[in-house]
């Protein structure tokens, strides 16, 4: 049941290069705000159209970015007010903290460690909530301990913690991701999963030449994805890392890379008359998380929607996890986009689109 579009962005997101350099402040929020003003059908480059959501069914989420110069509750409130203006909304549906307070330039440059501002930012979220600037509050890239502390801190202010956004996929369940999801479940906090395709690895776009056994339908999806990839401005370093994961290097990544998992996903997809990408998304839904897939084209959007309305069986989930766990490696990102380093989240960007899944 598709209840409406969920747009997820952040104040620091802009173009690929601007986001990486921390210069994209407000760019995608303004872009999304302009799109939300146009409630009629949206035309795509390939001539197709999809109906835009009405204001009542569109959910808009954005993020506050912790920074060394933001040290007060009011800095969070001001940031939220500016985001509201750029997004052209009266109240932000979901206002999130981009990451824990880990950007410490004085620590890295001079060894001087300043106190954490996490509780200040949590109080800022609570203030935004009580002022009616936001309808829900969430966090991003929080592990089990920190998300629990945030949940308890906000509860004392009478504010429910709605969500925690983390990197989660068949290839990224370790490094605390699975434990975080389980903690969120116990707390009643929704987990939003970014990188559900492991930056494209779980669609087969990097391995189509090594997997001739993929079905015609899946190859068609992969070809469309590869075309999109060529226009996605992936850096050479990102492409090099992703291709190494896809094919293996015989060193850190066993030869064959992600191939065995894709073959298993393909068998399940064929049996269910689905695509590999749809299996990747449905797996996340079955684990109790809400995937945030990217969609650069109408075809990709339509394919993503095919992950709704059905569920993998328990035996299929177990098989997928068994094969993934025996690949000999885990995926933590590519290039500067990492999910296991202190500064990884400062390089994440753009607008994610997902739908409400029931």
Catalytic positions, written as ranges: 13
Residue partners of 39: CB distance under 8 A and separation at least 6: 52, 54, 55
Round to whole Å and give the CA distance between 36 and 214: 38
């Amino acid at each position: 049941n598709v209840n409406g579009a969920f747009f997820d962005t952040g104040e620091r997101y802009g173009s690929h290069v601007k986001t990486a350099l921390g210069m994209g402040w407000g760019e995608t929020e303004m872009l999304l705000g302009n799109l939300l003003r146009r409630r009629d059908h949206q035309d795509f480059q390939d001539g197709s159209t999809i109906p835009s959501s009405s204001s009542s069914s569109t959910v808009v989420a954005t993020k506050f970015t912790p920074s060394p110069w933001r040290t007060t509750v009011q800095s969070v409130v001001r940031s939220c007010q500016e985001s509201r203006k750029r997004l052209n909304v009266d109240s932000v549906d979901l206002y999130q903290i981009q990451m824990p307070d880990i950007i410490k330039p004085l620590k890295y440059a001079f060894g001087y460690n300043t106190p954490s501002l996490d509780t200040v930012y949590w109080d800022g979220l609570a203030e935004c909530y009580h002022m009616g600037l936001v309808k829900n509050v969430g966090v991003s890239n929080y592990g089990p301990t920190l998300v629990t502390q945030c949940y308890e801190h906000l509860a004392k202010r009478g504010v429910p913690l709605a969500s925690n956004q983390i990197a989660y996929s068949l290839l990224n369940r370790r490094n605390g991701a699975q434990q975080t999801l389980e903690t969120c479940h116990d707390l009643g906090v929704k987990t939003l999963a970014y990188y559900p395709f492991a930056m494209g690895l779980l669609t087969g776009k990097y391995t189509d030449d090594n997997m001739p056994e993929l079905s015609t339908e899946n190859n068609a999806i992969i070809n469309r994805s590869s075309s999109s990839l060529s226009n996605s401005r992936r850096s050479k370093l990102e492409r090099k890392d992703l291709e190494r994961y896809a094919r293996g290097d015989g060193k850190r990544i066993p030869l064959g890379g992600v191939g065995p998992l894709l073959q298993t996903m393909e068998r399940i997809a064929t049996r269910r008359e689905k695509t590999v990408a749809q299996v990747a998304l449905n797996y996340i839904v079955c684990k109790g998380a809400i995937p945030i897939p990217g969609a650069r084209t109408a075809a990709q959007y339509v394919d993503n929607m095919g992950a709704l309305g059905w569920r993998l069986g328990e035996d299929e989930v177990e098989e997928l996890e068994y094969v993934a766990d025996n690949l000999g490696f885990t995926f933590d990102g590519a290039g500067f986009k990492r999910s296991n380093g202190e500064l990884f989240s400062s390089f994440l960007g753009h607008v994610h689109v997902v739908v409400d899944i029931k």
